[in-house]
Structure 1
Amino acid sequence: MLLNIFNCSPRGERSNTRALARPFVEGFMAGGGEAREYPAADPAVFDAAVEAFGTPSVAMIAFPLYADAMPAAAKAFIEEIWRLRGSCESTRMLFLVHSGFPEETHTRVMKDYLERLAARMGSPCDGVIRVGGGEAARHANSRKPGRTYMRLWELGRLYAERVVLDAAILAKLAGPRRLPWPARLLAPMIVNRLVWDRELRRNGAFDRRRDRPLEAGERP
């Protein structure tokens, strides 16, 4: 079975999307499948990705959510493959959607949208993999795989063997409906220190983290 992964994140190879798709792909290949990756956000690869979607295969469209919305690259890819609707019955559709927020409420509406998209395309939909709290996935230590990595790996292996996504693993990956109140208090401090402060330092902007927008008529 051939799995084509269409990474629609504008970050491409450095994306959290690729970091989250990788363990699924590794598990899928361990289960006997074959996989190919297409960075669909790259204009040089876009046409080849659309052509690959129409071939008999499993097509995984993967992308992040930015403030609960898909990136433009994902929307452009979906609009382009739309012209193939009704003629891709041999393409089984899978989706991987992730959000920086851990609660599953941020990806729930997108799940309904993508399932309806597959139905209107005339393609079998094998499911939507939702991953909460995926903001720092690309920074994870590959030598010490965490729970999310192992769950995605096992999900890929089982899918290669059964052509069905394991419902119990999907539920764990999606995240809780709502974080408990201690986590809601501590999470902002942890995220600010481990993610945002690190990005500010990397871009030489840490000392300006308290800057505010200019008032009307104020000069910099």
Structure 2
Amino acid sequence: MRFRRRAISRPVQTRVNERIRIREVRLIDDEGQQIGIIPTRDALEMAREKGLDLVEVAPNASPPVCRLMDYGKFRYEQSRKERDSRRNQHVTKLKEVRVEPKIGKADLETKGRQAARFLDGGDKVKLTVLFRGRSITHPELGRDLLDQLQVLLQEHGTIEQTPRMEGRTMTMYMAPSRQRVAATEREDQETNGQ
């Protein structure tokens, strides 16, 4: 078996100043005004006179678009935007709450509170009724349990998939309600801000 070298994928780097090796570029100055198509040498000279960098912002255009800017400041702002977008992202997870047909009322309420906490946190919830032994002969008990949970959770989320049997389990999916999640996020920001 032959050894095959894997291609290393490098991040695309922005070309700056002398790394721009094209004869002509479309230049935009530091105030956002379009200067026009000029030789790269002249654009570099203008950048040096103003104490700025010549940065290629649209390499695939014909001719490539370059801008006069402070490259260090530009990179800092880009990394800050990336950090902020990563911080504000919320990955929706699927949480599962399992119950059996013989569950007591207090235990069912506890499971309901647990599911409500998941929904308020912005996660989807899979409500599962496990049928063991001869309890499989009474699927209506499972449907009644899921209906009770639905009533408990109606202000926290909406039904994404109605109850259905899959082997020895009956499942129902709920998604968080947008207003409730937004209110919870606002409360979290207020407590973190103080």
The normalised TM-score by structure 1 is 0.27
- Structure with greater proportional helix content: 1
The normalised TM-score by structure 2 is 0.30
Q: Which has the larger radius of gyration?
A: 2
- Relative contact order (alpha carbons < 8 A, sep ≥ 6): 1 or 2 greater? 1
